[in-house]
Amino acid sequence: VLSGSKMWITNAPVADVAVVWVRTDERVRGFLVPRGTAGFETREIGGKLSLRASLTGELVLSDVRLPADAVLPGAAGMSGPLGCLDQARLGIVFGVTGAARDCLESTIGYAVQREQFGRPIAACQLTQAKLVDASLELGKAMLLALHLGRRADAGTLRPEQVSAGKLNNVREALRIARECRTILGAAGITLDYPALRHANNLESVLTYEGTSEVHTLVLGQARTGLNAFR
């Protein structure tokens, strides 16, 4: 019998089934909760300024009675949810490089076309510095993603390495999106160019799948052996 609630669940308003991780009398266990189960309801969260194409909502479980086969048999303890998170976070390490690349390529295309004072703004030294910094960080982010992917394939990827990839690549993708936005000038605040849309969406990515602060603490613990989570 499950009771509790959880905010900020992607696709909660439309999902046919929820995967719910629960602290039981013994260990953390995973359960499948189909929509329509008595005591289970979902509520949509409105007013989002980020990831607006994706529905987000709350799961509410009030004395939800489930059959014994609703429990995920192979997962007991935190390794179950943390294993899922490692998979999702590795996807983010790659995904955000795509957002950054879209920002950079579209911005270079704009900067070589857009003329001010008789020459393209891409010929300005400050603009080139921004584009070069963004290119360096994007290249490093892509190489980091590739390296972590190879470690995952080899079965040697450690959770703190995923934290390093998630923390670095989301942070740098967000910086690239914001810097590209400045090169686009006023056009950068519109939907004509992707930079601000990506920047807004990356704000969510900075928070979900482990906030940047929590990944910093994971890495701090890995480096020092000391837990600073509380």
Q: Confirm or reject binding of residue 200 to ligand FAD (CB under 6 A).
A: no
64 by DSSP, 3-state: which? strand
Catalytic residue (choose from 41, 58, 209, 213): 209
φ, ψ at 139 (rounded to 5°): -60, -45
Is 209 among the catalytic positions? yes
> Binding to ligand FAD by residue 10, rule CB under 6 A?
yes
Exactly one of 9, 162, 173, 177 binds ligand FAD (CB under 6 A); that residue is: 9
Q: Looking at beta carbons only, is 50 or 135 nearer to ligand FAD?
A: 50
Strand pairing partners for 9? 57
x-marked contacts with ligand FAD along 52-91 as a string, rule CB under 6 A: ----x-----------------------------------
**Residue type at 77 in one-letter notation:** G
42 binds ligand FAD (CB under 6 A): no
Task: Give the residue carrying structure tokens 């921004």.
Answer: 130
Cβ-Cβ contacts under 8 Å for 230 (sequence gap 6 or more): none
Q: Is 208 in the site for ligand FAD (CB under 6 A)?
A: yes
User: With contact defined as beta carbons under 8 Å apart, do 189 and 196 qualify?
Assistant: yes
Angle at the Cα of 53 (from 52 to 58), degrees rounded to 5?
70
- Count of residues near ligand FAD by CB under 6 A: 14
> Binding to ligand FAD by residue 229, rule CB under 6 A?
yes
Alpha-carbon distance of 125 to 127, in angstroms, equals: 5
Contacting positions for ligand FAD (CB under 6 A): 8-10, 51, 56, 204, 207-208, 211, 213-214, 217, 229-230
Catalytic residues: 209
